[in-house]
Structure 1
Amino acid sequence: MRAQGFVAVIACFALASCGLPRGAGFQSEVLAASNANTAAAGEEPVYDFAVYEVGRETLPVLQGWPVTGDAALPWLVAQEQPASLLIAAGDTVQVTIWDAEENSIFGATGVTALQPTVVSSDGQIFVPYIGNLRVSGMSPSTARERIEEELIMTVPSAQVQLSVEPGPSNSANLVSGFAASGLYPLLDRNVKILDLFSQAGGPSPDLNSPQVRLVRGSRTYGIPFERLLKDPRANIAMRGGDRVYIEDDARKFIALGATGTQSIVDFPEVEFSALEALAFIGGVNAGSANPEGILILREYSAGAVSDGIAGPPKERVVFTIDLTSADGLFSAGNFMLEGDDLIYGTESALNPALAVFGLTNTLASVAGGN
C-alpha cells in the first residue's frame, strides 16, 4: 500500500513538471502560434513574425537588410587645403611698418607698430596714410603686399610686416563632449578635426561610445569617434564657424530569459555582434539555458518590409542562434546587433525533467527509509 502511494506521488510530480518555476520559456513556446492570425480548420497558421536561423546560408541576405533605428548621418571626405589663413571679419590684424628714410614720417626709429585692428564686418581695416583697406578674403601675405603697394606711394622705402590672430569667423567651436570644450582658432585652412581633438583633450571619458557630430552651415554630419581615428579619409579640414559636439551612442539592447544578465545594456561599441553581446552579458545560464535556442527579436519599420531579400518579409523578425555548432558560433560573430534588439535565452526542455528526477530520487530515499 505504501509503495502504491509512493508511485501515485511520483506520477503527480511527473504530470506537474511542466508547471515547475522557470526563468524563461521554451523555444517552442516563444515561437508558438498563440499570437498567430486565426487560420481556418486544417490550414497552417499565419504568423505575425518571421523566423530566420543565423547561419552561413542566411547571413549574406540578413546583412543586406535595412538597419533599424535612425538613419546614419553622412560624413565628408578629407581634402588637402592651402596652409595659409584667409582673413575674415573679426580677426585681429597687427601691422608693423619699417621705413629706412632718415626723416621718416613714422618716427626717428623708422619702425612703427600700429595698434592691433579688428577686421570690421565689411572686411576692412584702417592703415595710416592709406585709409580704410579691404583685407577680408586675403591671405596674410597678400594683405601685407597690398598694404605695402599702397604705402609706397607715400613712403617709397616702406616695408610692412603683418600678423593675424584668428577671430570667431576663423575658429571652430567644440561645443560639448570634450575634456576641454571651447572656441579654438584655426591658424590655417588645413587644420584637421583630430588636431582640434588633441588640443581639447579628446572625448570626455564619461562617454561610453562617442559619436562625433559636425554642424557646418545648415547640414549636420556624423561619424563614430572610433571610425574617425582609424580612417585617414575621415580626418577632414575644419572651417571657420564649424560647430562640433560629441554625444554618446543612444542605442541599447535588452537581455532576458536564461542569459547571464537580465537588463537593459548600452552599446559599448559601434559595431557589436550577437556573439560579442552574449559574452558581454555573461553568456547563458549554464544550469537552465538551451544553447541551441538563443533568440534575437527585432522590429523593423513598415517601410523596410520587402520580399525577404532586400528587406524582411514582416515587421517582426526572430533570429535563432545555435551556440552548439561551429556554423552558429561563426555566424553569430558576424551578425551585428542593432538598437532595441532583444536577446532572449530560452529554457532547456530537459531541466524540468531533471528537477522531477532529482525529486523522485529524494522521495525514493525517503520511502526506502520508511
Structure 2
Amino acid sequence: MTIGVGDIIAVTVFEAQAGGLFIPREAGVRAGNFVDIPRQQVDQSGNIVMPYAGTVKVAGLTTRAVSSIIRDKIKDRAVDPQAVVSVVEQRGNQVAVLGETNSPLRFPIDPGGIRLMSAIARAGGPKYPAYETNVNLKRNGRTYVQSMSSVVRRPNEDVLLSPGDVVYLSREPRVYMVFGSTPSPGSVGGINNRRFTFENDSMTLAEALAKSGGLDGARADSRSLYVMRFEPKPLLENAGVNVSQFPTAAAPTAYAFDLSKPDGLFYADSFKMRDHDVIVVAESPSTEFIKLMNPINAATTNVYNISQATR
C-alpha cells in the first residue's frame, strides 16, 4: 500500500543507545530507546517534515521505503537509527459513492484494489432497478457515464477505482411515446398521458404496445405502424440508405411494421426499443370515410327530426 496526499502519518525513531540525536544521555530521564514524532498530514506536494531530516517526499511510496529514506537522512547524527513509519488514517486513497444509493459513503481503497461494482455494493447498492440507473464516474476532471445494466453485462466495464474517484448513481428512467390510433389517454390503467416508461432493460416493440393498450380496433390500421428514432448515419449507409442530405451525425429514421401478418408480430416481439422512441399507429382508411359520413348522417338525422316535428 502506498502513501497518498492527505494521509495521516506517524513516525517512530529508535536509537541504539542514549546520547544520540533523540535520546538524552541522562539515564532515567525517559523510558525506552525511541521517540514518537508528532503525527502529520501529507501535504498537497506529497511531503512531510521530519526533524533533522527536513522535507521528505512520501506520496506514492510505501511505508518501508519512507522508513529507509528517513534513516539515511539522520544516520550521520543519530546512533544507529531505525525508523518505523505507519499510516494512521488513510485519506488520500479514498473514493466516494454518492447519489441514488442506499448508503452513500466515502471509504479508503483496499490494498488489493476495488472495482466499480464492489464499491457500489459497499454503498448498499442502487435504490432503483439497474435499467433505470446510470453510473457516473468522475476521474481527473472528466466524467464517464454508463448504464448499470451495461456494467453488469460487460465485465470489462467494471473498472478498478483509483484514489480520488467519485461514483455517482443517478436515476434516469427510459421512456417512449405513443401516438395515433391507440386507446385514448387515461383509458389504460388510469395513465393520463402517452408517455410510458420501460419495464425492463430490453423492452420490445410488442411489449411497449401492450403496455400502452395496444391498437384501437375501431380506428387503427394494423398494416401501418411506425417506430421513429435517430440512427447513426454509418449504420444507414451500410444498409444502402442515402443520408448525405443530413448534416448531423444521426439521421431521422422510421421503421415500418405490418401487424396484420404473423411475421409482423414476430418482428415486433424481437425489435428492441430505445430511449425516447416514438410509436405512431396510422388510422384505417375506413376511419376517414366514417369521419366524412358523420356530418352527412347528422344532417340527414336533423332533417328527418324536423319533418317529423312539423307533421
Question: Which whole-Å CA distance do the structure 1 matches of 2:58 and 2:67 have between them?
Answer: 9
Partners in 2 of 1:100 and 1:275 — Cα distance?
A: 82
Q: Which moved more, 1:147-156 or 1:222-231?
A: 147-156
CA deviations on 1:10-30 (whole Å, 9 max, x unpaired) are xxxxxxxxxxxxxxxxxxxxx
Q: Secondary structure at the match of 1:115?
A: strand
Do structure 1's residue 173 and structure 2's residue 96 form an aligned pair? yes
Q: Partners in 2 of 1:244 and 1:100 — Cα distance?
A: 49
Shift in Å, 1:225: 0.6
Unaligned runs of 5+ in 2: 24-29, 246-250, 294-311
Secondary structure of 1:116's match? strand
Partner in structure 2 of residue 277 of structure 1? 208
Matched, 1:193 2:143: no
1:248 to 162, 171, 178: 171
Q: What does 1:93-242 align with in structure 2 at a 5 Å threshold?
A: 93-98=9-14, 101=17, 105=22, 107-153=30-76, 154-156=78-80, 158-163=82-87, 165-167=89-91, 169-188=92-111, 190-205=113-128, 209-242=132-165
Change (3 A) 1:171 1:267: same
Distance in 2, Cα, partners of 1:196 & 1:305 = 36
* CA distance in 2 between partners of 1:346 and 1:294 (Å): 6
SS at match of 1:142: helix
Equivalences, count? 272
In 2, distance between residues paired with 1:232 and 1:304? 27
> The residue matched to 1:114 in structure 2 has which SS?
strand
> Partners of 2:31 and 2:3 in 1: how far apart?
32
Q: Deviations over 1:9-51 (max 9, x none)?
A: xxxxxxxxxxxxxxxxxxxxxxxxxxxxxxxxxxxxxxxxxxx
Q: Report the equivalent of 2:309.
A: none
Secondary structure at the residue paired with 1:160? Answer: strand
Report Cα offsets for 1:203-258 as digits up to 9, x if no partner: 23388611112222243322111111232211111122323322233653211234
Paired residues of 1:96 and 1:114 also in contact (CA < 8 A): yes
Correspondence list, 1:81-96, <5 A: 84=1, 86-96=2-12
Match of 2:239 among 306, 309, 313: 309
RCO higher in structure (CA 8 A, sep ≥6)? 1
Q: In structure 2, do the counterparts of structure 1 residues 310 and 267 end up closer, same or farther at CA, with 3 Å as the change threshold?
A: farther
Q: Deviations over 1:66-105 (max 9, x none)?
A: xxxxxxxxxxxxxxxxxx3x32322211233455647784
Residue 267 of structure 1 and its aligned partner are, at CA, apart by 3.9
Distance change (3 Å), C-alpha of 1:310 and 1:94: farther
Shift of 1:131: 3.2
In the superposition, relative to structure 1, how do residues 220 and 277 fare at CA in structure 2: closer, same or farther (>3 Å)?
same
Percent identical:
23
Q: Secondary structure at the match of 1:122?
A: coil
Q: 1:333 to 1:151 in 2, by over 3 A?
A: farther
1:197 deviation in Å? Answer: 0.9
Distance 2:116 2:65 in 1: 26
CA–CA distance in structure 2, aligned partners of residues 146 and 280 of structure 1: 68
Say whether residues 1:264 and 2:191 are aligned partners.
no
Partner residue of 1:37? none
Alignment partner, residue 321 of structure 1: 257
Amino acid at match of 2:114: V
TM-score normalised per structure 1: 0.59
Structure 1 unaligned segments of length 5 or more: list them. 1-83, 357-370
Is contact 1:189-1:238 (8 Å) kept? Answer: no
Larger strand share, 1 or 2: 2
